[in-house]
A = this chain, B = another copy of it.
Amino acid sequence: MKGRIKKIFENADADAIIIMNGSSVDMTFFYVTGFESGLFENSAAVLYPDGSMAVICPELEEGAAGGKAEVFSNNKEKFELLKDKVSGERVGINSRAISHADFMKLKELLPEARFIDVDDAIRRARVVKDGEEIKRIKKAGEIASHVSNEIVPYLHEGVKESDILAEINYIMAKKGAMPSFDTIVAFGVNSSIPHYSTGEKEFEFPALMDFGARYGRYCSDMTRTFVSGREQSRVYEIVREGQEIAFDMMKEGVKATVIQNEVDEFFSKHGFGKMIHSLGHSLGLEVHDGFSMKEDFILKEGMVITVEPGIYLKDRWGIRIEDDVLVKRNGIEILTKK
């Protein structure tokens, strides 16, 4: 994945960059290695400015690495191997993903090194997707869209949230995808909690389903809410219009916060105040893949972003609509069918 590594170095003034996995894995590891199989906890990749890299991993990942990694069988060997791979004074790290414990170990291991935080360079490289990444996200989006169609007949009186979750994940799995996060099925009052954890409540409107597929490690993220009655329908219509406003504004060169503010103002005008979460976030190897629409960044061609306005009436119910879009020069392409 030479091109991706070079892209990171465009904004990173380092002699080498260490991508360090602890018990939590920096997904940048898969961005640079492209490994299709394996978990790669406690592994590392060392990147060089010419686009090359060295990968080290524990014995049990050797098969998944397919001969593209050097293997250690204990921590002592791990850090000896790692030390061997790092040359130069300026050593980049991804401060958001490396644990403080691992950073302290690197400092001890490389006493001569000057550590440079290349978190931003990594985020800026990863947020603009290349062809292979877009292909996979599109497929993940197609699978989520397929779910959103197939799930409708299962929604009826007496069905429980966990039943719908089971069907959603099943439809996805039959298409070769895992859920990209814990599927949310929230009926009635539970829909007022954006990050509700699916339970046993029986069917009631609104019926909110927030789910995503992970295909070839790349994620989609989609929300559909089914409503009933005049009040819910009115709010649904406002949320839908909020999404349209965002869609119409999105294209290369526009500031994310300008779009966020526009939708916030639209909801405020209708008496609902600002949203309690951001309008969306970039999407890729992770569901929250770098930036949220409340952060200071400018849309670029090749970014994939969720657009997920929501209105929540405390202790009553909530409505959210979420689709994934690919930013283009003059507009967007919606990756989840509407």
Contacts and interface: CB of A to CB of B under 8 A. Distances in A.
7 contacts: A60-B277, A63-B196, A63-B312, A63-B314, A93-B100, A100-B103, A178-B182
A174 B166 contact: yes
A197 B276 contact: no
A22 B165 CA distance: 27
Nearest to A175: B162
Interface in A60-112: 60-64, 73-74, 93, 95-104
Given A59-B276, A63-B314, A64-B196, 10 more contacts: A37-B196, A38-B195, A39-B195, A61-B195, A63-B194, A64-B193, A101-B119, A162-B176, A166-B174, A169-B173
Most chain B CB within 10 A, of A24, A61, A99, A294, is at A99
A73 B278 CA distance: 10
A60 B193 CA distance: 7
Interface size of A as a range: 35 or more
A237 interface: no
A10 interface: no
Contacts of A39: 195
Contact of A100 (B40, B63, B95, B170): B95
A163 interface: yes
A23 B288 contact: yes
Nearest to A106: B100
A41 interface: yes
B59 A277 contact: yes
A36 interface: yes
